[in-house]
Structure 1
């Protein structure tokens, strides 16, 4: 996900919507969602039936699903019936959940059909686009699917999904997976069905319904790439979104196979700059014509590997999604535009990290947070996560780094992973003990604050770590008047460096270290 509002960088939104804390029912594992949606042009009310297939991991008397109930503001979902086959299932609906009386045994698989209707308060944006045309777009991240979908709305529960949408016939429907049906119905309606056979977390479920112009941008091997844009933007939109073809090929070559059978790039009403819905990426409607469009597309396409195919097991590990997508974007830009572009992006990102650290003294992996997940959209998760990958790449070397990245993806494709899983794969690939590296950069707040000053002895410089917790890191520097790059390891509070014939040193000239430079 790209969180730049209107694609203007450096403004992180601490949004108040969504991100509610819910009790995940770990006794159940959803296998499949079969979602039937009926939409109309007269009201914002949706009518739905969702069939949820669940495998139980324990004997249970009830199943708890996330679903926002009807509120006093006339939004929310009201359930009319729950059935298993032809048998009614007792249920009790609460403000944020519904509890089904099921009496299921460990290992059993059951399918429950839940009929409901209402106006989504969040998670599905029913509005008009910038051209005044009515549109419908799901917008589930981080855990807002339950505003319109009964579900286990947590990234650790991944399932296949099928969508059947009945809507006025003038609309085009796009969703996860491949289109299986498009049928004209009486009353100027149309039924469209999509099915995704790869398991997904609910955060990247997607349905978009609008008047679209559609272009087949090209193919990457046997994967068709499409652009869905508002007709008024089709000339520029088709040109912009076609960049995804080259980007998709780059990441396949760099990381491993693409997990899905299509890639659709969709102009939408998402509240984010971009949203990495699996195989069906939503970009905010102002993205067409933006000078940042190539970076935005690269970020969201990278998420198809990291965030979608390999999904963080819990929210404190969201850097495995956002940090990875941010760094893979830089890697793509480095590939296309050269190392100087990479360095400039790293400089810019380092400034954002330093600024964020001055406001919030928290580690990248913040286990203290309960709910309020929108606040994870910050420089720790994005830019610092990206910088950590860059430093890891420099520490272990390119060959071992990409070997580890590919091994990590291969091992956890279609699964969940946490930071220790990634660490284990990188240690195997590099043959190095990365315990200190991961501990200090991911579990410790802040970064090295480095002061450099002249020593009391001739031709010496004193390098001092001024932050509270000491870091161990390789430091590159050049002495004035010399082009030679010198390397030392910093691990103490004070390090004295001999630089014969030099009055000053330039530290980190190649932009390989996340530090705050406190020069004296």
Structure 2
């Protein structure tokens, strides 16, 4: 996710075949066993920032989501969510994250099950307890409401002509029942039925479109596991544009049909941007990529997997320099490697997502727009102490305050985290740093990874003990001295972001 500058008020929300097993999940399983026979209660995997997200006792293998859209973006969609999962402990009750829709029925392995709500959880009681190591299928028939409830924005974004989805960090469960934590990635199949005048697009590649009467059902399937926060479904009066990326990669963009021509100059830049990222970190990790330009007011851009969400106005409003817009496109593109393919194991690892995306955004701006990386990092260094005081150190962000829409997406995990990467490059040298980057996305592809994993890799590649370095830079209350720049000094105690995404306010 990248917050974008607007004069209006922001509404930022931010933003497997091979799994790392969570210590948090293991510890939470015991909680589940104790609570299994007790009254329904919300559970979680123990994430420090979102303690009630995710659920212990099972590992989701696949989601099958079906949505039926009536043509109104203010009416609930009819939906069916099917979850295939492996149990990891005995379960008398199964907790799913779901909090913004009406549940009509639940089945467990084809048999009716009772259910009730507890906090943000849907608690399901099967006919008999589930045993560890068994495959189970849960089918939930429910509604999915695009209208926000109270002061909490749901994952649906209402556009001028339909809907899009933005679930980061903690609102996928306002759209569909799920295990709403990035530590449990899964495969997705997504079906959308809509009136014929609408086009529906979702993550992954299309597997078919079936017309019946005056509606069409569109089906998409991912080829790689995905976190719930990265799911994307867009329904609108849209045009889907196709082009080839590097090595024949299918690139598909989704735009409002009426804006197709004005947006094409930006869309055609994507293949070269993918090639640029591949030159830095290696092959693109997914089956397709594209840009969704939504006619909506969000205040952010978001790296939904294989189809990044952008506000259309970013590309049509005057006043933003070309280098700036392109660098934002690269920010979200780079997340496909850092955040989507390699996902954070806990939300405290968010700096690995946003720090890397900011890093490659900055490198691109330097190479293509003449915006010096060192100048940006020096400015970030000056503000870093203020960011740490306000939002916590990069790898120990403060928890979001209730009702605070910006949540955990503060400058300390953007430029503050990119500053850590700059310091690491200064510390171990450019060649070793570039090797760390390539090895990171290769070794953890389609999985989750932690801050400790990143430290171990950096030590392995550099052949050095970096314990003190990472402790000071990632967890210290004060910003350490910058290697190679003894003259740099902290200068600001505020949360202003001295970055490309905040700087331009007038035409250049």
TM-score, structure 2 as length reference: 0.81
Residue by residue, what CA displacement relative to the aligned partner does 1:407-432 show, whole Å, maximum 9, x if unpaired? Answer: 11112111111111001001111111
- Rounded to whole Å, the distance in 2 between the matches of 1:112 and 1:4 is 39
Residue by residue, what CA displacement relative to the aligned partner does 1:123-156 show, whole Å, maximum 9, x if unpaired? Answer: 3435342xxxx21111101010100110011111
Decide whether aligned partners of structure 1 residues 154 and 86 sit closer, same or farther in structure 2, where only a CA change above 3 A counts.
closer
- Rounded to whole Å, the distance in 1 between the matches of 2:173 and 2:325 is 30
Aligned-pair CA distance for 1:14: 7.5
Matched, 1:29 2:3: no
> Contact 1:362 / 1:446 at 8 angstroms: preserved in 2?
no
1:474 to 470, 473, 483: 483
Question: What secondary structure does 2:133 align onto?
Answer: coil
Residue by residue, what CA displacement relative to the aligned partner does 1:351-387 show, whole Å, maximum 9, x if unpaired? Answer: 5535534x61621122663775843111110001001
> Contact 2:359 / 2:418 at 8 angstroms: preserved in 1?
yes
- Rounded to whole Å, the distance in 1 between the matches of 2:398 and 2:93 is 29
> Contact 1:13 / 1:375 at 8 angstroms: preserved in 2?
no
In structure 1, the partner of 2:4 is 4
> Contact 2:423 / 2:482 at 8 angstroms: preserved in 1?
no
Deviation larger for 215-224 or 138-147: 215-224
Decide whether aligned partners of structure 1 residues 105 and 380 sit closer, same or farther in structure 2, where only a CA change above 3 A counts.
same
How many residues align? The count is 442
Residue by residue, what CA displacement relative to the aligned partner does 1:245-288 show, whole Å, maximum 9, x if unpaired? Answer: 11111112221222211112011237242110010111012122
In structure 2, the partner of 1:450 is none
Structure 1 unaligned spans of 5+ = 69-75, 448-470, 478-506, 509-514
2:306 to 256, 275, 279: 279
Aligned-pair CA distance for 1:328: 1.5
Matched, 1:40 2:70: yes
Matched, 1:101 2:112: no
Residue by residue, what CA displacement relative to the aligned partner does 1:165-191 show, whole Å, maximum 9, x if unpaired? Answer: 0001111111100001112211x2111
Identify the structure with bigger relative contact order (alpha carbons < 8 Å, sequence gap 6+): 2
Matched, 1:52 2:26: no
> Contact 1:34 / 1:161 at 8 angstroms: preserved in 2?
yes
Aligned-pair CA distance for 1:404: 1.0
Aligned-pair CA distance for 1:218: 3.2
Aligned-pair CA distance for 1:473: 4.9
Question: What secondary structure does 1:288 align onto?
Answer: helix
Question: What secondary structure does 2:286 align onto?
Answer: coil
Q: Give runs of ≥4 in structure 1 deviating > 4 Å.
A: 11-16, 370-373
- Rounded to whole Å, the distance in 1 between the matches of 2:443 and 2:407 is 30
Computing the radius of gyration over CA atoms, which structure comes out larger, 1 or 2?
A: 1
- Rounded to whole Å, the distance in 1 between the matches of 2:113 and 2:401 is 31
> Contact 1:161 / 1:199 at 8 angstroms: preserved in 2?
yes
More strand by share: 1
In structure 2, the partner of 1:459 is none
Deviation larger for 256-265 or 189-198: 256-265
In structure 2, the partner of 1:207 is 233
In structure 2, the partner of 1:297 is 329
- Rounded to whole Å, the distance in 1 between the matches of 2:490 and 2:382 is 9
Matched, 1:267 2:303: no
Q: What CA RMSD, in Å, does the superposition of the two structures yield over aligned residues? A: 2.5
Matched, 1:89 2:113: yes
- Rounded to whole Å, the distance in 1 between the matches of 2:63 and 2:12 is 31
In structure 2, the partner of 1:228 is 254
Map 1:417-428; keep pairs closer than 5 Å: 417-428=449-460
Matched, 1:437 2:469: yes
> Contact 2:97 / 2:120 at 8 angstroms: preserved in 1?
yes
Question: What secondary structure does 2:206 align onto?
Answer: strand
In structure 2, the partner of 1:181 is 208
Question: What secondary structure does 2:478 align onto?
Answer: coil
> Contact 2:302 / 2:310 at 8 angstroms: preserved in 1?
yes
Structure 2 unaligned spans of 5+ = 15-48, 493-508
In structure 2, the partner of 1:251 is 277
Decide whether aligned partners of structure 1 residues 174 and 387 sit closer, same or farther in structure 2, where only a CA change above 3 A counts.
same
Decide whether aligned partners of structure 1 residues 353 and 4 sit closer, same or farther in structure 2, where only a CA change above 3 A counts.
farther
> Contact 2:55 / 2:97 at 8 angstroms: preserved in 1?
no
